[in-house]
Amino acid sequence: MTPATSLTGPRPRHLLDFQGWTPERLNALLDNADTMAQVLDRPVKKVPALQGLTVCTAFFENSTRTRTSFELAARRMSADVMTFAAGSSSVSKGESLRDTMEVLTAYKVDAYIVRHHAAGAAHLVARYSGKPVINAGDGRRAHPTQALLDAYTIRQEYGSLEGKRVAIIGDVRHSRVARSNAELLPKLGAEVVLCGPATLLPRDLAALPGVTVTSDPREAVRGAHAVMALRLQQERMNGGFLASLQEYADTYQVNEALMQHAESGAIVLHPGPMNRDLEISSDAADGKRSRILKQVENGQAVRMSVLYHLLVGRE
């Protein structure tokens, strides 16, 4: 475990994206995730750090693994968890997000974990809630805890992100995971290469510091220490983005043949859920390079650390 350092500067109130999060603070958060991972390895997988606090998971968009991961993380820290699912709430009757948040606030919630199909929704909740908000995915914009667990998984492998090359391949256009990773990983010293067919590769992302884009997957993985396949969001493929799924798989699938062009010990990541044999082959998903299940496992420890950072300590 990296020795803890004292943190300087104001503590961010929310985790909406990585604005206001310094590399020092992000590294401290990942250091503390080591401690949380140790807690999860013990017979008693729970600490009382958030005892007495109530965390609300407000999911306006379907999700099982992210919501479950957050709920378990909060419970492992001894928080009470209130689950709010938009599908079975007054939102489906036309209630506005603002009104919904005011109702939830009346229940004395101490923090919100928000997923929404609209970019910026988590920012809106942060404005109305008066309490810390964690963005669990808003539209195509950001999914910061996924990026943190990706960074943590890579760091676990190599000890540091400094000087590492991470190739992110697939449907970059629709991926909040890719955007959050493109924002986070360079802050921690890594180089990010975004790769996909031109129709799914917004070139403006190349303006981000430490980020390059290419449509050539071999070029993307050359020298890469980690290769992340993105889910091809088939539900958003009605805009004529691809000629055919087979053609996409033939060119952009992350498989053992493509991984031969990466660093010899390079690892394979995927934020899930996977379309097997489309954006990733089974040999890559299940092979010895794969850290996909490790990502899932690490998600809980990282989210415990995020809750700790936002909810513990003097205001």
Partner 1 sequence: MSAPKATILTADEVRRAMTRIAHEIIERNKGAENLALIGIHTRGIPLAERLAAKLSELEGVDIPTGMLDITLYRDDLSEVAHQPIIRETQVPFDLGQRRVILVDDVLYTGRTVRAALDALIDLGRPVGIQLAVLVDRGHRELPIRADYVGKNLPTASSEVVKVKLHETDGVDSVELWDLEDLK
Q: CB-wise, 38 or 96, nearer to partner 1?
A: 38
Whole-number Å distance between alpha carbons of 67 and 82? 11
- For residues 34-53, which are near partner 1 according to CB under 8 A? 35, 38-39, 42-44, 46-49
Taking the complex as a whole, the smallest distance from the CB of residue 313 to partner 1 amounts, in Å, to 5
Chain mean position to CA 189: 18
Residue 1, interface with partner 1 (CB under 8 A)?
Answer: yes
Per-residue DSSP letters for 218-285?
HHHHTT-SEEEEPP--GGG-TTS--S-HHHHHHHH-B-HHHHTTS-TT-EEE--S---BTTTB-HHHH
Please report, in range form, the residues annotated as the binding site: 65-66, 93, 115, 143, 146, 176, 231, 272-273
Residue 276, interface with partner 1 (CB under 8 A)?
Answer: no
Residue 82, interface with partner 1 (CB under 8 A)?
Answer: no
Q: CB-wise, 43 or 240, nearer to partner 1?
A: 43
Taking the complex as a whole, the smallest distance from the CB of residue 134 to partner 1 amounts, in Å, to 16
Taking the complex as a whole, the smallest distance from the CB of residue 113 to partner 1 amounts, in Å, to 20
Name residue, tokens 């969001």. Answer: 233
Contact partners, residue 16, CB within 8 Å, separation at least 6:
122, 123, 126, 133, 135, 142, 144
Please report, in range form, the residues annotated as the binding site for L-aspartate: 93, 176, 231
Whole-number Å distance between alpha carbons of 282 and 276? 6
Taking the complex as a whole, the smallest distance from the CB of residue 78 to partner 1 amounts, in Å, to 9
Q: 222 in the Ramachandran plot: left (φ > 0), alpha (ψ -120 to 50) or beta? A: beta
Residue 312, interface with partner 1 (CB under 8 A)?
Answer: yes
Q: CB-wise, 87 or 130, nearer to partner 1?
A: 130
Q: CB-wise, 47 or 119, nearer to partner 1?
A: 47
Q: 313 in the Ramachandran plot: left (φ > 0), alpha (ψ -120 to 50) or beta? A: left
Could you tell me whether strands 54-59 and 111-116 are parallel, antiparallel, or unpaired per DSSP bridges? Answer: parallel
Among 32, 145, 295, 298, binds partner 1 (CB under 8 A): 32
Q: Total residues contacting partner 1 (rule CB under 8 A)?
A: 25
Q: What letter would DSSP give residue 128?
A: H
Compute how many other C-beta atoms are within 10 angstroms of the C-beta atom of residue 33: 27
Strand (E) or helix (H) holding 34: helix 23-40
- For residues 9-28, which are near partner 1 according to CB under 8 A? 11, 28
Q: CB-wise, 13 or 222, nearer to partner 1?
A: 13
Where does this chain touch partner 1 (CB under 8 A) — which range of 33-41, 115-123, 162-170, 229-237?
33-41
Taking the complex as a whole, the smallest distance from the CB of residue 47 to partner 1 amounts, in Å, to 4
Q: CB-wise, 6 or 64, nearer to partner 1?
A: 6
Buried b (16+ CB within 10 A) or exposed e, 160-194: ebeebbbbbbbbbbbbbbbbbbbbbbbbbebbbbb
Residue 4, interface with partner 1 (CB under 8 A)?
Answer: yes
Give bridge partners of residue 15 from the DSSP assignment: 134
Where does this chain touch partner 1 (CB under 8 A) — which range of 31-39, 88-96, 190-198, 252-260?
31-39
Q: Which residues bind partner 1 (CB under 8 A)?
A: 1, 3-7, 11, 28, 31-32, 35, 38-39, 42-44, 46-49, 308-309, 312-314
